[in-house]
Amino acid sequence: SYCPSLLGLFIDGRFVRPSDGRLTVDCLFVCCCAGGVTCTIVCTAEAELSICTSSSVSAFKSWSALSCSQRAKVLLRLSGALVQHGQCLCELCDLSHAPCSAPSLIRLVQYYSSWAQLRDSLMPQWTPLGVVAVVLSDDCSFYSLMVKVLPALAMGNSVIVIPGRSTAPAALLFAQLFMGVGPPAGVLNVLTGNDITLGARVAQSESINYMSYSGNKQVCVFVCRATAGVGVPVSVSVTVGSICPFVIFETADVDSAVDAVIEAAFKKNKEVRWQLFVQDSVVDSVVARLQLRLTSMKCVSVCADADRLQVDAAVQEAQQQGATLLQSCTAPPSGLQYPPTVLCGVAPSSPCVVTPPPGPLLPLMTFRSNAEAVTLGNHSPHGQAASIWTEDLTLALETAKSLSVGVVWVNSHSVSDPCLPLSGHKDSGTCTDGGQQGLYQFLRPSSSSSTPLPRSVPVSMDYTTFGGGAPLPIIPDQSDVSSSPQSFLQFVGGKACKSESGCSVAVRPPGGGGVLAYCPDGGRKDVRNAVEAALKVQPGWMKKSPSARAQTLYALAKGLESKRRDLAVSINSQTGVSMEEAEKEVELSVSRLNEWAAFCHQVQGGGPLPQSGSALSLPEPLGVIGMLLPDRKPLLSTLTVLGAAVATGNAVVMVPSQSYPLPILTFIQVLQSSDLPAGLVNIITGNKDQLTAALANHSVIKAIWYWGSAQGCQYLQHTCTSPLKTLSLFCQKETEGPEGGLDWTRSEPTFMEELWRKAVQWKSVWIPTA
């Protein structure tokens, strides 16, 4: 029966309710506020889903056909509507426990209306993706939703929103306000229901071109695994539940720092969990001020009985390990009220530090030096944000640069501005939101003729046994036999070496026949050794100046040119192309390395101007990247992606084409005589599936660039979730051969820029002023 407080779905520019007779309702969701019912919302069925995706496809054609100026005017009218109705929208957010301030929302719309106006003039070689699905978990804020929806709309995409339970009422109201300012019907649709299953069902529609998720890690893992193999790129922002360091140095204004940590931990942003690190020399002063501030605070609510049990258990265990409590009052024996609590003297390995419960708890730890503070701050698997308190600007900037987080606030916390890119580091996400950098996830190069992941139906596969077989013919290692054919070695830690297995595989020419050479059959142990070597050298390489990295790449290109004859012969014998084509590929490879050397000097960072204070926006390397390389143009493709990674400060573990490994094994001679630090570039040959599994399951690998089978792409999407890895996947058909697939000879600026963006993550440093 129809409920007066029932909110329907928002499809094709209007609310669709059960009373329309066109759609059916299977179940209802309840949005709770302070124990009461705010409203009930419809759960989407398959019929509504089909109508919604058709509407979005039609709306995309109309919306993207508008001029940039026309789309900008629509968004400007939306900002005017929010000025009039924003307070109502934000009150609805508060009722549903998804707070968002009206001024910040208006500022967000105004910012992206300007980018809608400037897209064609500043990014003329980029085009919108199509239909974008934005998925949120139940506990995510409305602002986190808007940070993804507005840039997608500004760039010309149509959007399907799958909000969580707390953001659903506000998302529906926002969609109604947006349609009131005149966009094409269907450009923004809202589907409500169970976010865990609904997001996966939406992704399986052939109309979806991209999916972006924001919320907690549990739902993130489910969404990534449920969409593995369907051919939809998925980016994630783990904005809920991240552990963030709050660092107070002895040079800080202690009173201001204590006031700020009380506000951050117990009053303001409940999506993150703060940990307090205090320098030894001021810890007594900080503790005294904390105790004074806590005495005036009341108990705060926890969400559920299960959360209260977790908080009680964490506090009890911390006390047993020697921690002391600072509380405003004694905790009630039961109920959902709990006093704000500081746990002093806990160890970094304590459970309340490693896996903090969802409640008003603030662990406090001490440090002696700046280096120790950085070590403690980086101890968490998350990398969302940090707050640093010191009057020494040099110390603040050095610490900010060393912390592996996406945003650092100096003498402030929890402030935001849409002009600053927010990039989740480590386990906090795989994409960048905000600023100009956050726009590119909703764009593709206009010159791109094909999608890297074709739409497909996920295959049934055993993820635990993927890569376990050895389909290549294995023979004893031939590296000590002084006879033809030649035996090659792999390259790990700056040295040519045998594989740990002690075996080699035969490499044959394209048409079959005799053995061309033998190459090592690498495995998990070889990957382990290569990653250890890369991890050891990458921090030093990252700190080198762009000029120093450029000179090293110029020297590598010169060394490559000196071996051009040997490399051309290996390409000719391995792939079967003519010597003329092989020499041309070597020449293009030399040119590509020189281009990346020049690109080192064009580091695209800067200082965007927020509404208050100053800010720095800095590109940083991802860390250690695993690369499983394509068959086409084996030398040129390898040096193109190698140059992108190394030029931006990364270390790499590369797996050459399983069908055409000889050009890269010949390239090892160039690496041996180069100036690259030992361990920066590692090359392992062997079974691609086996090495894919080894790279995917290594916790240190930060990103994987993969060219291979659809099954390999599906495996990586399913597996690279704990910890999160940034994936660049390209499905390579077995019939393509060395001349099929992506055109590596192209030299458009967007091609290089796209690779550069895949190799970096962003850090924003916020420096407020009085």
> For 591-629, what is each residue's pLDDT tens digit?
999 999 998 877 666 666 666 678 889 999 999 999 999
Over residues 42-69, the mean pLDDT reads 93
**Rounded Cα distance, 135 and 221, in Å:** 13
User: DSSP assignment, residue 745?
Assistant: T
Q: Which residue do the tokens 């697939």 mark?
A: 741
Lowest mean pLDDT among 129-138, 342-351, 462-471: 462-471
CA geometry: angle 260, 285, 392, nearest 5 deg: 60
Helix (H) or strand (E) holding 731: strand 726-731
**Rounded Cα distance, 75 and 78, in Å:** 5
Grade residue 737 by pLDDT with cuts at 50, 70 and 90.
low
Tell whether the model's pLDDT for residue 315 goes beyond 80.
yes
Q: What pLDDT is attached to residue 478?
A: 46
Q: What pLDDT is attached to residue 609?
A: 62
Alpha helices (runs of H) in 500-545, residue ranges in sequence order: 524-543
Query: Is 188 within 8 Å of 182 (Cβ atoms)?
Result: no
Q: What pLDDT is attached to residue 481?
A: 42
Q: What pLDDT is attached to residue 416?
A: 86
Tell whether the model's pLDDT for residue 289 goes beyond 60.
yes
In sequence order, what are the residues at sequence separation of 6 or more whose Cβ sits closer than 8 angstroms to the Cβ of residue 589? 560, 567, 635, 636, 639, 640
Grade residue 43 by pLDDT with cuts at 50, 70 and 90.
confident
Q: What is the pTM of this model?
A: 0.92
Lowest mean pLDDT among 174-178, 265-269, 680-684: 265-269
Side-chain-side CA neighbours of 684 within 13 Å: the count stands at 35
The pair phi, psi for residue 721, each rounded to 5°, is -120, -20
The pair phi, psi for residue 25, each rounded to 5°, is -115, 125
Over residues 326-345, the mean pLDDT reads 90
Q: What pLDDT is attached to residue 95?
A: 82
**Rounded Cα distance, 534 and 215, in Å:** 32
Tell whether the model's pLDDT for residue 415 goes beyond 50.
yes
CATH topology of domain 242-427: Aldehyde Dehydrogenase; Chain A, domain 2 (3.40.309)
Beta bridge partners of 614: 767
Q: What pLDDT is attached to residue 27?
A: 45
Q: What pLDDT is attached to residue 552?
A: 96
Grade residue 25 by pLDDT with cuts at 50, 70 and 90.
very low
Q: What pLDDT is attached to residue 18?
A: 55
CA geometry: angle 245, 250, 256, nearest 5 deg: 70
* Model confidence pLDDT, tens digit, residues 189-207: 999 986 578 988 999 999 9
Among 312, 373, 320, which Cα is nearest to 348's?
Answer: 373
3-class DSSP assignment, residue 262? helix
Q: What pLDDT is attached to residue 513?
A: 73
CATH of 486-767, one of 3.40.605.10, 3.90.650.10, 3.90.1720.10, 3.40.50.300: 3.40.605.10
Grade residue 739 by pLDDT with cuts at 50, 70 and 90.
low
Grade residue 686 by pLDDT with cuts at 50, 70 and 90.
very high
Alpha helices (runs of H) in 321-358, residue ranges in sequence order: 351-354
Instruction: Assign 3-state DSSP to the chain and report helix, strand, coil percentages, each to 5.
Output: 40, 20, 35
Tell whether the model's pLDDT for residue 33 goes beyond 70.
no
**Rounded Cα distance, 431 and 760, in Å:** 10
**Rounded Cα distance, 130 and 307, in Å:** 41
Lowest mean pLDDT among 50-64, 222-236, 250-264, 323-337: 323-337
pLDDT averaged over every residue in the chain: 89
User: Which parts of 392-494 are beta strand (E)?
Assistant: 407-410, 422-423, 425-426, 432-433, 443-445, 474-476, 486-487, 490-492
User: Which parts of 450-553 are beta strand (E)?
Assistant: 474-476, 486-487, 490-492, 495-497, 503-507, 517-520
- Which of the given ranges, 162-166, 225-229, 448-452, has the highest pLDDT on average? 225-229
Q: What pLDDT is attached to residue 654?
A: 98
Pairing verdict, β 503-507 and 474-476: antiparallel
Q: How many residues does the chain have?
A: 770
Q: What pLDDT is attached to residue 1?
A: 40
Helix axes 102-122, 142-154, angle to 10 degrees: 20
Grade residue 6 by pLDDT with cuts at 50, 70 and 90.
confident
Query: Is 80 within 8 Å of 110 (Cβ atoms)?
Result: no
Q: What pLDDT is attached to residue 93?
A: 87
- Listed in order, the ranges of the chain carrying CATH 3.40.605.10 are 6-237, 486-767
CATH number 3.40.605.10 is the correct assignment for the domain at 6-237: yes
Establish whether the linkage from the previous residue to 723 is cis, with ω within 30° of 0: yes
Q: What pLDDT is attached to residue 736?
A: 54
- Listed in order, the ranges of the chain carrying CATH 3.40.309.10 are 242-427
Over residues 72-100, the mean pLDDT reads 91
| Other CB atoms within 10 Å distance of the CB of residue 731 | 21
The percentage of the chain sitting over the pLDDT mark of 90, rounded to a whole number, equals: 70
* Model confidence pLDDT, tens digit, residues 692-719: 999 999 999 999 999 999 999 999 999 9
Among 715, 701, 699, 707, which Cα is nearest to 656's?
Answer: 707
Lowest mean pLDDT among 321-335, 368-382, 516-530, 668-682: 321-335
Q: What pLDDT is attached to residue 188?
A: 98
| Other CB atoms within 10 Å distance of the CB of residue 513 | 8
Query: Is 645 within 8 Å of 759 (Cβ atoms)?
Result: yes
Among 703, 662, 714, which Cα is nearest to 685's?
Answer: 662
